[in-house]
Structure 1
Amino acid sequence: MFDPKKLEQIAKQIHDSMPEPVKELGADVEQKVRQVIQGQLNKLDVVSREEFEVQTQVLLRTRQKLSEMEQKLTALEEKLAADTEEKKEQ
């Protein structure tokens, strides 16, 4: 297995030994690639991780409230059915 620190050291040595114009070209290419990628990502219809987490919490609270309302509705229906039966018996 390769030692990550050793690989990083070798990469730094290679980088340091490159002529300055090659280093600048590499930096320019990296900047351009970042710009293109960022531009493409901005075109996508995506949400941030933070917004996703917020919406997840909203959904969980909504599900909890819905469950509580379903239980209340069931209890009311049962009470109504019991009251209707009681009136029929009288």
Structure 2
Amino acid sequence: MITATTIDELAQRLAAIVPTGMKEAREDLGKNFHAILQTGLGKLDLVTREEFDVQRCVLLRTREKIEQLERQLAALEASISAQPRH
């Protein structure tokens, strides 16, 4: 999950790789990296972990229901084919 702390850490890492001759600009670059990352990630259509987990549970329940219905259908088809035809 991407949090403000994650963005801060990533911005600091990017600023840390700035050449040592540009130490004065490192802090400003760190702030700029942070702003760019926050803006860029904000534009992405991301879901929270909670939303993802909720949808995962819905999908699992739906899959279980489909499997149950498939078993019921197979049983009905078997019972129909087992009945004598007149």
Alignment TM-score, normalising by the size of structure 2: 0.60
1: CA distance, partners of 2:31 / 2:48: 23
1: CA distance, partners of 2:51 / 2:77: 39
Tell me which amino acid in the other structure corresponds to 2:66. Answer: L
**Structure 2 unmatched ranges of 5 or more:** 1-23
1: CA distance, partners of 2:50 / 2:38: 19
Tell me which amino acid in the other structure corresponds to 2:50. Answer: E
Once the two structures are aligned, what percentage of the paired residues are identical? 41
Residue 81 of structure 1 and its aligned partner are, at CA, apart by 1.2
Tell me which amino acid in the other structure corresponds to 1:40. Answer: G
Tell me which amino acid in the other structure corresponds to 1:76. Answer: L
Map 1:40-51 → 2, pairs under 5 A: 40-51=40-51
| Structure (1/2) with the larger helix percentage | 1
Residue 54 of structure 1 and its aligned partner are, at CA, apart by 1.1
Q: Name 2:55's counterpart in structure 1.
A: 55
Q: Name 1:8's counterpart in structure 2.
A: none
RMSD, aligned CA: 1.8
Tell me which amino acid in the other structure corresponds to 2:40. Answer: Q
Q: Name 1:13's counterpart in structure 2.
A: none
Map 1:68-87 → 2, pairs under 5 A: 68-83=68-83, 85=84, 87=85
Aligned residues: 63
Residue 71 of structure 1 and its aligned partner are, at CA, apart by 0.1
Alignment TM-score, normalising by the size of structure 1: 0.58
Residue 27 of structure 1 and its aligned partner are, at CA, apart by 5.0
The structure that has the greater radius of gyration is 1
Residue 28 of structure 1 and its aligned partner are, at CA, apart by 4.6
Q: Name 1:31's counterpart in structure 2.
A: 31
